[in-house]
Amino acid sequence: MHAFDILGDPVRRRILELLADGEQSSGALTTVIQDEFGISQPAVSQHLRVLRDHGFATVRPEGTRRLYAVSAERLQEVDVWLERFRRFWDQRLDALATEIARGKRERRMKADATEKEDP
């Protein structure tokens, strides 16, 4: 299954967003997803299973808990696919960085000029 088939579901995307902050228990994930999407615990478990079975998440047992984490390999596949589109935003981000630097430089020059005027 293609990575975007898996990531096309908003629940699975949200789970990955939560996991991007670090390893989480299935219980913690379930609580957030149930609150945000109003789905049952078995439905959340099914989404976790899809993410795990398709390589987007790993799980490790810790006593009676199951701890999930992001698995980077499949996300790298997405990154590679996005590479051909980066040119659409990289140039704009570079231009934004230039404008920010220009604004900082102008403010610094004004501040220096003001200090020189005031004894």
Tell me, what's the pLDDT at 90? 66
3-state secondary structure of 22: coil
Instruction: Please give the share of the chain, as a percent, with pLDDT higher than 90.
Output: 57
pLDDT digits (tens, 9 = 90+) for 86-112: 777 767 777 788 889 888 988 888 888
3-state secondary structure of 118: coil
pTM attached to this predicted model: 0.71
Paired tokens of 113: 């000029």
pLDDT digits (tens, 9 = 90+) for 60-87: 999 999 999 999 888 888 888 888 887 7
> Where are the alpha helices (H) located in 8-67, listed in sequence order?
10-20, 26-37, 41-53
Tell me, what's the pLDDT at 86? 79
55, burial (CB in 10 Å: exposed 0-12, middle 13-18, buried 19+) = middle
